[in-house]
Amino acid sequence: MLLRSRITGTGSYAPEKVLGNFDLEKMVDTSDGWITERTGIKERRIAKGIQSASDLGVEAAKKAIHMAGIMPKDIDMLIVATMSGDMPMPSTASIIQEKLGIKNSPAFDINAACSGFIYGLEIADSFIKSGKFKKVLLVGTEVLSRFTDWEDRTTCVLFGDGAGAVIMEPTKRNRGIVSMQLHSDGSLWDLLCVPGGGSRHPASKETVKDRLHYIKMKGNKTFKVAVKALESLVVNTLKANKIKPSQIALLIPHQANLRIIQAVAKRLHLPMSKVVVNIDKYGNTSSASIPLALDEAVRAGRINDGDYILLEAFGGGLTWGAALIKW
């Protein structure tokens, strides 16, 4: 049989500090009722002043490494999905590599915003199937609170900090990654972006004054595009693999908005009992949301050997993607 890649360890980490909706009521013109109704979010985690994306990623990675029963020295590739890395250069992957004591393996970042973990899964899967690497650490980690405009009532309620990680290894069994789909539409890049800090608008007094270093989002249009793209994506993924929705044991979606999650579940005729939802506790943690939710599901015993699980995400770029996995 051809090699497949499978997840052998999962881990997650969320900062201790909790910022609830009632706390936000004291900061901006909003209410717990409005936030909950529109998004499904009740609270989010916020990194401490000294915590960076690499710090959160390391904690999640340690748990994944332990579950997989390996040592950091065994890892032969490290991929980090993030849009809020420690610094522009070097990669956050390089910093995590040093903190974990991983030696002589390639390490690099990818930025596909909220779809980053799915994109990273495809990259890791391809390398493992090629036979080039045997133990890949994939981390999704975000400290979005540093890029959140706490004066913007429409966006500050959405985002939180967290990290998730998986170890991926080859297998010849009928398990692992069954199918992947990745998509992007660059014509819609401006629906969700952080304009400042890059080569187009390098940091200056003007960019700080104009608040260009914060997340900008055209919420209504993004919501409509996301629902349409994800509904089509998940249906096509299952159809291409001749899998009926009823065969899906668990849907693990990107935690961006409860209404989007419910719309996708409805399209698949899946009861919400088969959907992992933790957006109420963490908000939108971008590339960290799927691996964080996956780890919680694994540790809660919600996934059994041989189960089909479906992962799907949508984010800035605009990017979207899905992964069908036989556990």
Provide the number of structural domains found in the chain: 2
Q: What is the pLDDT of residue 256?
A: 95
Active site residue 201: no
Strands 216-217 and 248-253: unpaired
- pLDDT at position 294: 98
44 and 140 within one domain: yes
Angle, CA of 115, 120 and 125, to the nearest 5° = 130
Query: What is the reported pLDDT for 104?
Result: 87
In terms of domains, do 29 and 103 share one? yes
For residue 137 the two structure tokens come to: 């650490």
Which is it for strands 192-193 and 216-217: parallel, antiparallel or unpaired? antiparallel
CATH of the domain at 208: 3.40.47.10
Inter-axis angle of helices 258-267 and 32-39, nearest 10: 30
Examine the domain organization and report whether 144 and 161 are in the same domain: yes
Question: Which domain-ending residue is among 174, 196, 216?
Answer: 174
The structure tokens listed for 239 are: 């159809």
Half-sphere exposure of 84 (CA within 13 A, CB side): 30
Backbone angles phi, psi at 162, to 5 degrees: 175, 175
What is the phi/psi pair of residue 191, to 5°? -70, -25
Q: Scanning the structure block, which residue is given the tokens 């009992």?
A: 273
Active site residue 284: yes
Pairing between β-strand 77-81 and β-strand 43-46 as defined by DSSP bridges: unpaired
Shared-domain flag, residues 155 and 217:
no
Same domain, yes or no: 17 and 164: yes
Q: Are strands 161-171 and 136-143 parallel, antiparallel or unpaired?
A: antiparallel
- Of 21, 111, 114, 257, which one is the catalytic site residue? 114
231 in the same domain as 102 = no
* Residue-wise burial string across 185-219, b where 16 or more C-beta atoms lie within 10 A, e elsewhere: eeebeebbbbbbeeeeeeeeeeeeeeebbbbbbee
CA dist., res. 81 & res. 67, Å (int)? 21
Q: Which range marks the domain in which residue 228 is found?
A: 178-326
Among 293, 307, 313, which Cα is nearest to 233's? 313
Domain limit, last residue, from 153, 174, 195 = 174
Global confidence as pTM: 0.96
pLDDT at 155: 94
Which of 120, 143, 174 corresponds to the end of one domain? Answer: 174
Rounded Cα–Cα distance for residues 325 and 116 (Å): 17
Are both 12 and 157 inside the same structural domain? yes
pLDDT tens series, the chain, 327 aa: 588 999 999 999 999 999 999 999 999 999 999 999 999 999 999 999 899 999 999 999 999 999 999 999 999 999 999 999 999 999 999 999 999 999 889 999 999 999 999 999 999 999 999 999 999 999 999 999 999 999 999 999 999 999 999 999 999 988 999 999 999 999 999 999 999 999 999 999 999 999 999 999 998 899 999 998 998 999 999 999 999 999 999 999 999 999 999 999 998 999 999 999 999 999 999 999 999 999 999 999 999 999 999 999 999 999 999 999 999
**End-to-end CA gap in the chain:** 17
Q: Say if residue 153 is in the same domain as residue 36.
A: yes
User: Domain check: are 157 and 14 in the same one?
Assistant: yes
313 in Cβ contact with 285 (< 8 Å): no
Tokens of 236: 């096509």
Q: Does 25 share its domain with 142?
A: yes
Element (H, E) at 165: strand 161-171
- Report yes or no: 323 and 291 within 8 Å, Cβ to Cβ: no
Asked if 198 and 162 sit in the same domain, the reply is no
Q: Which of 21, 111, 156, 254 is catalytic?
A: 254
174 annotated active-site: no
Number of Cβ within 10 Å of residue 275's Cβ equals: 19
φ, ψ of residue 179 to 5 degrees: the values are: -155, 145
- Residues 125, 247 share a domain: no
